[in-house]
A and B are shown apart, each in its own frame.
Chain A
Amino acid sequence: AQTVTQSQPEMSVQEAETVTLSCTYDTSESDYYLFWYKQPPSRQMILVIRQEAYKQQNATENRFSVNFQKAAKSFSLKISDSQLGDAAMYFCAYRTTNYQLIWGAGTKLIIKP
């Protein structure tokens, strides 16, 4: 069975600096998708970025980028120029071939002004 591990329960970063959140996963599938979701205090789940496993190029969305290492089964999220609005829980998720999502336990990101 697939598993997703986020080893950092909490991270903090100074405003305007860069922070990297870690995610590792275990799977025997070759075709899958990976996601980072953000959950602010409002509880709303918001998609931050996604990566298709067959694409070697790392996905980027403005200040958010990933470091996808398929062989190492690693999928980290880098947030550049951190802003106060980035404070939230961040969840890594893996989409199986039958479209089920397996979620990590989350990382709480604190932004220090």
Chain B
Amino acid sequence: NAGVTQTPKFRVLKTGQSMTLLCAQDMNHEYMYWYRQDPGMGLRLIHYSVGEGTTAKGEVPDGYNVSRLKKQNFLLGLESAAPSQTSVYFCASRVSGANVLTFGAGSRLTVL
């Protein structure tokens, strides 16, 4: 059982380039989340989804877009990458009513 899978694991971008991070879960979870983790800070919520076709903004949504066209996939897009978006990105999911999140292994993004 794969759980939550994030691709790619590492990526280097130049300022202004675009990219998409893919999160896939095989647990039939309704809720999915994208967080970023920066040194000396806790995880901060970027966007989340409560079900297929729905998305909502989190604490730090600016500069990011998301889509949830299929229940198992949650995509995080950067339209025009900036150095401030250099971070480690985590995807997580949970089943409705559950308290515990299942996390992916993280994706390290560097924007030069």
Contacts and interface: CB of A to CB of B under 8 A. Distances in A.
Interface SS of chain B: helix, strand, loop or mixed? loop
B100 to A, nearest CB: 6
B29 to A, nearest CB: 13
Interface in A79-113: 91, 93, 95, 99-106
Given A43-B88, A43-B105, A95-B99, A103 B43 contact: yes
Nearest to B42: A103
A64 interface: no
Contacts of B88: 43
B15 to A, nearest CB: 25
A42 B105 contact: yes
A105 B99 contact: no
A45 B106 CA distance: 9
Contacts, number: 42
Interface residues of A, number: 21
Interface in B42-88: 42-45, 58, 88
B47 to A, nearest CB: 12
Contact of B99 (A4, A33, A42, A44): A33
Given A50-B99, A99-B31, A44 B105 contact: yes
Nearest to B96: A99
Contact of B103 (A45, A95, A105, A106): A45
Interface of B: 31, 40-45, 58, 88, 90, 92, 94, 99-101, 103, 105-106
